[in-house]
């Protein structure tokens, strides 16, 4: 790959969810977060498409990204408005662990949240939790 994978990821985070670099993922990439678990770059692309269609004013703040061998760690905050009449702003901070294979492709992408799924749901009615 011409550009370092960390640079590509940094750029993807900055413009998330628009114009993501799906070619940096292995065809059978494993993805997991507190709501989803699946394999395949096609399913990953569909999930990003869902975010593009249904989330409003999506913003991904990248605080940290580092690579150690085959592991890449990121720390981030994802926020968006829900398309409900009162347009609640949802915010989730967390981190990702990505694993890269010998060909330089991401084979595993696991997201962890600093809050529970229930904390996220509560933001629909009570605003951002602390």
Q: DSSP characters for 20-44?
A: --GGGEEEEEEEE-SS-EEE-HHHH
Confidence of residue 124 (pLDDT cuts 50, 70, 90): confident
Confidence of residue 130 (pLDDT cuts 50, 70, 90): very low
Q: What tens digit of pLDDT does each residue of 71-90 get?
A: 999 999 999 999 999 999 99
Give yes or no for residue 96 having a pLDDT over 90: yes
The predicted pLDDT at position 3 comes to 61
- Residue 84 φ/ψ, nearest 5 degrees: -110, 160
CATH of 5-126, one of 3.10.450.50, 1.10.10.410, 3.30.1550.10, 3.30.450.20: 3.10.450.50
pTM here? Answer: 0.89
Q: Are 88 and 81 in contact (CB under 8 A)?
A: yes
Is the bond preceding 17 in cis, omega lying within 30 degrees of 0?
yes
């Amino acid at each position: 790959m011409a550009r370092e994978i960390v640079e590509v990821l940094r750029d993807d985070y900055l413009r998330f969810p628009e114009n993501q670099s799906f070619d940096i993922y292995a065809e059978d990439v494993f993805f997991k977060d507190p709501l989803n678990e699946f394999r395949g770059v096609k399913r990953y692309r569909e999930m990003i498409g869902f975010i593009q269609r249904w989330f409003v004013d999506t913003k991904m703040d990248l605080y940290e990204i580092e690579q150690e061998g085959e592991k890449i760690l990121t720390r981030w905050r994802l926020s968006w408005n829900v398309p409900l009449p009162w347009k609640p702003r949802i915010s989730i901070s967390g981190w990702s662990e990505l694993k890269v294979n010998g060909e330089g492709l991401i084979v595993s992408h696991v997201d962890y949240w600093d809050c529970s799924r229930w904390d996220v749901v509560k933001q629909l009615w009570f605003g951002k939790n602390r």
